[in-house]
Amino acid sequence: MKNIIVRVLLAALTTALIIYLLPQYHAPQQHAEIGKPWGYSLVVAEEDFPIYKTEKQLETERAQLLKDFAPYYKPVSENLPESYPLVISMAEASRLTQEGYTKISVLEDKTYRVYRLSEIETPKSVYAATGQEVKPTLMYDTLTNNRMREEWLAQISLTQGLVQKGERIVDQGEVVTEETYQKLISLQKARDSKALSAQTQTWRSFGEGMLVVLFVLLFVFYLYIFRPSYVVNFSTLLFFATSALVIIVPSYLIVQQGWHWALYLVPFAWVPVLMRVFFDARSALFLHWIVVFIVSIVVPAPFEFLIIQMSIGMVAVASLRDMTRRAQLAQTAMWIFCAYALAYTAVTLAINGDWQAIDWHNYLFFAINSVFIIFAYGLIYIFERVFRLLSSMTLIELADFNSELLRMLAEKAPGTFQHSVQVSSLATDAAKAIGANALLVRTAALYHDIGKTVHPEFFIENQQDGVNPLLEMTPADAAARVISHVTDGEQIARKHHLPETLIYFIISHHGTSLVRYFYNTALNMGMTVDKADYQYRGPKPSTREAAILMIADAVEARSRSLKEYTEASIAEAVNRMIDAQIEDGQLDETNLSFHDLQVIRNLFKERLTAMHHHRIAYPKLNEQH
């Protein structure tokens, strides 16, 4: 019950944080697109409001007006003679020419007089005419220029016409023209210029909050229905929440500041990349879409945003099936850039039908965003340590036979090492067959018996001379020696900083089963037996991967003790061992289905039969040959 409460609190706190950070002001959700049908109800002017000019119109008018503007200059010093030559620097003359100015205003006796630019000298022109070197006598008057430019630009009207109260603007299904679009934008500006009523703001915030709750619940339901094993681990749930907030929080802050262009710099693909590295593709895509839906509540163009970002998520997941090499992130970044560019171009053309509507600066943002994807490698390392997760790259590094622990196992307990390799092969095949994490099982199997390096001579696979020192001990002492390889393995793993996930495999690969050989021996000898003395401490396996390792370990060990290797004897040994584990309740806490167990049975029979097949005896040559 306590664990359930903690998980509910995590979901509630995450939802509350997202709702709290929702921008107080953002673009309206009635999004108009030129050339597309209006998808909402009839819009009628609630009151008179002006039609605002587009930014393009204003830029044109500003440029036209500033053609007659004469930049303001003043003497470089108050000590100049009354009739001083009007000389500006070469840099100023070049700038004025490039910017298209034909005249300047010069301060003379506290008033400004306008001169044609051709009447103004430069040090170079004076030297060419007189042979004398002179310095500039005029300097740019920054304060006056800024003030006068503002006064000039203030002459431009920001509006063009008026929409009267009750005037029909657009109805549902009508195609939005440029004129209609500008009226809709002007209507929104008129609304925004007024403070929203407290009631309107409250209901608006309530609706947005409900959407956030809905999206979070959708992800929670997905986990409970399709990925219940993820719900068991609180660290995993915390990872999901952190991955989402890493993207949602900066997105909200950007919208709050009005920097909508910067949304293209937010690396939304981090969510599917991080999820894909540690978990499965479906969960990666599902969480990514949930994050995108939550952010789309506040973005100015939700349709465009959703199309682009959902496409990016699918590309990220598809291009990163199993991250086993660092170079894969660079390849994924390249594919994400291509997807960004293609999706943005397609959506912009579909909405506007004009190449001029494309903002070419966005492609630079896409490139920067793709570079951020490469930086996800650092996040992978951090998240791996903080949330005690295992990436494919780490598993591959640990599964290298040249790693310190595996070399120690091969040197101190060569028989156990060979047993571990065989178990690893069997368990990997079984995991692939039922859709479990094959790489995790493969690596865990190599380390599951690492504790046998402490006393390798107590285990039969390492006894070369046939002498078994356990037979010289009491059954209880012998059982304790055998059981200790689990606790020894845990201590060695922690000393060498193996991940907690692999340590779990070490302590659970025998579950709470009995060391039955010595337990039965004690009973047959008429001893008073405490069952706990002959029982592994556990825990029982709780995942499919841990269950596969337990079965593979037991079956492989049992196959080594067979007197004859036939298809029938191997099948009997496999069935007996798995049935015994089921009856003992060792697999009760896993979610292995009957079908999974049947697949594992058949596969182990097939693999063990192939491993122990009889080889053909080569004939010897006669002496005469």
Question: Structural domain of residue 477, as residue ranges?
Answer: 392-611
The reported pLDDT for the residue numbered 99 is: 86
Interior angle at CA 308, CA 304 and CA 310, nearest 5: 115
| Alpha helix (H) residue ranges in 227-326 | 228-232, 234-257, 270-278, 281-296, 302-319
**Mean pLDDT for the chain?**
87
Residue 405: CB partners within 8 Å, gap ≥ 6?
A: 447, 450, 492, 496, 498
Asked if 351 and 407 sit in the same domain, the reply is no
Distance CA 276, CA 282 (A): 9
CB 69 within 8 A of CB 117: no
**Residue 29, domain member (yes or no):** no
User: Is residue 220 within 8 Å of residue 290, measured between CB atoms?
Assistant: no
Q: Are residues 397 and 333 in the same domain?
A: no
Do the strands 168-170 and 138-140 form a parallel or antiparallel pair, or are they unpaired? unpaired
Name the band, by pLDDT with cuts 50, 70 and 90, for residue 602: very high
In terms of Cα–Cα distance, which of 28, 116, 54 is closest to 302? 28
The first and second tokens of residue 286, run together, are 């599902």
* Under 8 Å between Cβ of 506 and 580: no
What average pLDDT does this structure show over 552-579? 89
**Same domain as 532, residue 480:** yes
pLDDT at position 325: 61
Q: Judge whether residue 386 has pLDDT over 70.
A: yes
For residues 494 and 530, membership in a common domain is answered with yes
Across 91-119, average pLDDT: 89
Please tell me whether the peptide bond between 539 and the residue prior to it is cis, using omega within 30 degrees of 0.
yes
**Same domain as 398, residue 377:** no
Q: Which of 123, 153, 183 is the last residue of a domain?
A: 153
pLDDT at site 624: 56
| Domain membership flag for residue 500 | yes
% of the chain at pLDDT higher than 70 = 93
In a domain, 416, yes or no: yes
- Locate tokens 């080569």: which residue? 618
In a domain, 179, yes or no: no
User: Is 342 within a domain?
Assistant: yes
Among 386, 416, 437, which residue terminates a domain? 386
pLDDT attached to residue 192: 66
Given the structure tokens 């556990």, which residue do they identify? Answer: 538
Same domain? For 399 and 380 the reply is no
At residue 394 the predicted structure's pLDDT band, cuts being 50, 70 and 90, is: confident
Which of 371, 386, 401 is where one domain is finished? 386
Verify that 378 and 408 share a domain, yes or no.
Answer: no
- Classify residue 193: in a domain, yes or no: no
Count of domains for the chain: 3
Whether residue 580 is found in the same domain as residue 485: yes
Does some domain include residue 15? yes
Pair (438, 575) in one structural domain: yes
Highest mean pLDDT among 142-156, 378-392, 473-487: 473-487
CATH value at residue 521: 1.10.3210
- The encoded tokens of residue 181 equal 């679009």
- 284 and 320 inside one domain: yes
Is 171 a domain residue? Answer: no
Q: How distant is the alpha carbon of residue 360 from its chain centre?
A: 26
Residues 399 and 379 in one domain: no
The confidence score (pLDDT) of residue 326 equals 61
pLDDT tens digits along 112-126: 999 999 899 999 998
Instruction: Please check whether residues 452 and 579 belong to one and the same domain.
Output: yes
Distance CA 362, CA 260 (A): 11
